[in-house]
Amino acid sequence: MLHRLSFLILFISLTLLSTGQNELGGIGQWREHYNNRSIIQLGIANSVSGEKKIIGATTQQVFSITAKNIVTLLGKSTGLHDISIACTAWDAAQSQLIIAYNNSNIDIVKGDQVYAITDLLLSNLYPSKKINHIYLLNQWALLSTDFGILVIDLIKYEIKDTWFPNNNRLITKTFQIVSTQDVLYVATENGIWTCPIKNNWITANQWQNNTDFTNLGINKIAQYNNIVYGAKANSIYQLPLKSPYFNLNNGQIKKITINKDGVYASFSNGNKGGLLKINTDKTSTSILDSTYLSNPVDFVFDENNSWIADSANGLLLKNTSTKWIPLGGPLGNINGQMFINSKYLIAPFGEVDGGFSIYNEDGWKTINKISNKSLPICYSSAVDPIDGTIWLTSSDGLIKYTPEKGSMEQASPIAFKGFYSNIQFSSDGTLWTLLEGQGILQKQNNNWKLITPPNTLSLIGINKMFINQQGQAWMIAPKYQGIIVYNPNATGEKWSIINPYNNNLPSSTVTSMTDDQNGTMWIGTNNGIGLFDCNEISTCKAYLPQIKNNNGFAGLLFQKENVNCITADGANRKWVGTNNGTWLLSNDGTEIIERFTKNNSPLPNDTIRQIVIAPTTGEVFFNTAQQMASYRSTATSGARPMHQINIFPNPIAPNYNGPIAMRGLVDNAIVKITSLNGKLVFQTRALGGQAIWDGKTYDGNKVATGVYLVFARDELGSEKAVGKIIITHGQ
């Protein structure tokens, strides 16, 4: 399969943009927001223009770095066919990058094209097809795999042959390959095997094995000036000598390399690592120690620069100083409950890593230390609508962060101790948080109040809560017992239980909750969705929407599907996340507008754990079981008052054929596009606060080059705005 990179990106030779560049694209475009801290490989590439770059791979993306430390990322959203990278190699002769994935898929990136080689992915010949390393031999890429050596033709983009490093064609796990001028050296599970090279090829049944190295466990190999070195966990050998060239007293060798300056080795010992130079007298000199390094898996030298890939901490650059190079994305996996508003996205790490990340137009910023004090594990986040402070539940209670000051303070009342889970603000600034096993803790006008349930109800095990527009607290009941609702406005009993038996809930296993712009509660379960829209909660019956076209559903909406999350966009349409991808539904849930999976989109995984939507841009963020991606949708939240219309792109370039977006509108505004002489060209309705035009007239023809006026108003005509579109691609 051949892909053309988005925006015709020439990955290795183009002029790169800002550090960690990941700019918001147009309608329908995607972005990845991966944790790029885990780096697996580094290399050096010369571009077509002669500029030298550092290239490398994280577990999810490929990156390049210019001499000015400007970073460009390449991933699934920009043309790659897969994620979860195993290893890469730069082919200088053909100016192309070979990428092998953990699922055994292979991409070759050349210019603005990506060639996929899927034969190994689709093959069932071998029990394990894992690709361990890539070595280039002229026009061939030699892939060390768990079954042998896969030979790929780098000109024809096809598999040329399979070599087995033995003389009986038995499956052999192969770790790494190097070659001297006339001999191929292969580190395998059965020791070091060699084979003569003639005319850039090998002859079958001419493999030789040095029995001295058969049981040593050498799995790394390198060469310089036809001298070959091998390494196992704690020893380095200069072949063919069977006595160790160097022994590492503590730790495990991760990588060895040899150049004109000598032998270098990186190692790790638990969570401590280092980079050593092996001296000619067999002693070692420390280049970097555990002050910086934890697990240095790769390193390259570029003149006076030492680049080290640490799979635990990221990319380190050492020259006259030592500094970490950011590659964009949060510095941890997002396992907490995210929050988004028009200013930024808050993403707590949860589970293992302390602190949280903030995302805005300047990119990702990780906050895990303040005044040299490490932050605790944070689980849920919210922003106070009155003063803009960020609140988080944590393993140390409630904490409050003030972005303008960069300060953090403990905010939990001393009188209320326990585990704080969810947190949310009402529009009036009232804070609600769950104090597990005790009740709902509420802060209003700086006064704290604990709201406890009757003795017949227990909140032990409850950790999910949603406060709707009516000021009701909806909580997922523990032990698969449906929903518990606290209604402070009820005249009688304020606590209610909703279950399948009394309230027509699709299942007692509730997984997600939200309300929409009409105040209707959407409840996700492991058996579809139920809608609640009534005042008397205890007697309310759920409405179960029916999909108009089944699309795999048995009539009822998401029947037999696990609905992990639901959220409404600016046009009141519903985004639903499941274990089988994400759906965009019409506002009443009866029609499917879009469906995205990892196979038809840049989603990294089909298990969607949370969806949040940026109100002003309509960008939809999908936090999956394998990191995060976002999609620029067609709907935004409405603006009132409507001061001006923001139009993008504008002017329209000659080669542009995508949608033209007009945002900053009131909800469901009537939008008319006319020529300068007042002739109506097109009319539409806004999706929330954004309208979309394809640059064509009603009959489907592109409009002529020129200037066009945009008139927007609400139903009553009390809100009006005017804009201008310049078309340069017309007929």
Judgement on whether residues 378 and 494 belong to the same structural domain of the protein: yes
713: CATH? 2.60.40.4070
Q: What is the pLDDT of residue 541?
A: 92
- 95: in domain: yes
Q: In the listed set 81, 98, 122, which residue is the last one of a domain according to the structure?
A: 122
- 240: in domain: no
- Note if the bond before 649 is cis, omega within 30 degrees: yes
Extract the tokens encoding 72.
Answer: 């460009």
Burial string for 495-505 (b: 16+ CB within 10 Å, else e) reads bbbbbbeebeb
* 7, pLDDT greater than 50: no
Task: Single out the residue of 467, 330, 453 nearest to residue 385, CA to CA.
Answer: 467
With cut-offs at 50, 70 and 90, classify the pLDDT of residue 283.
confident
Judgement on whether residues 575 and 688 belong to the same structural domain of the protein: no
If one counts the domains in the chain, the total is 4
Judgement on whether residues 458 and 599 belong to the same structural domain of the protein: no
d(CA 119, CA 105): 8
Extract the tokens encoding 120.
Answer: 């190994």
Q: How many residues does the chain have?
A: 731
Q: What is the pLDDT of residue 730?
A: 57
d(CA 107, CA 100): 7
Q: In the listed set 601, 635, 669, which residue is the last one of a domain according to the structure?
A: 635
Q: CB neighbours of 522 closer than 8 A, spacing ≥ 6? A: 513, 514, 515, 516, 529, 530, 531, 566, 568, 574, 589
CB 325 within 8 A of CB 314: yes
- 141: in domain: no
CB 331 within 8 A of CB 357: yes
- 249: in domain: no
Judgement on whether residues 434 and 501 belong to the same structural domain of the protein: yes
Q: Hey, which residues does 32 pair with through a beta bridge?
A: 629
pLDDT digits (tens, 9 = 90+) for 466-523: 999 999 999 998 888 899 999 988 777 789 999 999 999 999 999 999 999 999 999 9
Q: What is the pLDDT of residue 5?
A: 59
Integer-rounded Cα radius of gyration of the chain: 30
pLDDT digits (tens, 9 = 90+) for 341-397: 999 999 999 988 899 999 998 889 999 989 888 999 999 999 999 999 999 999 889
Judgement on whether residues 492 and 622 belong to the same structural domain of the protein: no
Judgement on whether residues 433 and 351 belong to the same structural domain of the protein: yes
Better-predicted residue by pLDDT, 525 or 23: 525
* 189, pLDDT greater than 70: yes
At 119, which helix (H) or strand (E)? helix 119-122
**Residue 62 belongs to what domain range?**
1-23+34-122
CB 665 within 8 A of CB 692: no
3-state secondary structure of 77: helix
Judgement on whether residues 351 and 468 belong to the same structural domain of the protein: yes
Report, as an integer, the average pLDDT of 165-191: 94
Judgement on whether residues 112 and 12 belong to the same structural domain of the protein: yes
Report, as an integer, the average pLDDT of 55-78: 90
pLDDT digits (tens, 9 = 90+) for 584-620: 999 999 889 999 999 999 999 999 999 999 999 999 9
- 266: in domain: no
- 196: in domain: no
Min mean pLDDT across 46-50, 105-109, 187-191, 231-235 is at 46-50
pLDDT digits (tens, 9 = 90+) for 438-476: 999 999 988 999 999 888 888 888 889 999 999 999 999
Helices of type H across 136-196: none
Pairing of strands 284-288, 296-302: unpaired
pLDDT digits (tens, 9 = 90+) for 20-41: 446 777 889 999 999 888 899 9
Report, as an integer, the average pLDDT of 229-257: 91
428: CATH? 2.130.10.10
Q: What is the pLDDT of residue 611?
A: 98
- 192: in domain: no
> What mean pLDDT value characterizes the chain?
89
Judgement on whether residues 352 and 421 belong to the same structural domain of the protein: yes
Burial string for 4-32 (b: 16+ CB within 10 Å, else e) reads ebeeebbbbbbebeebbebeebebebbbb
Pairing of strands 201-202, 191-198: antiparallel
Judgement on whether residues 587 and 664 belong to the same structural domain of the protein: no
Judgement on whether residues 570 and 658 belong to the same structural domain of the protein: no
pLDDT digits (tens, 9 = 90+) for 642-694: 778 899 888 988 888 889 999 899 988 999 999 999 899 999 999 999 999 99
Q: Hey, which residues does 663 pair with through a beta bridge?
A: 646, 690
- 722: in domain: yes
Q: What is the pLDDT of residue 566?
A: 97
Judgement on whether residues 101 and 90 belong to the same structural domain of the protein: yes
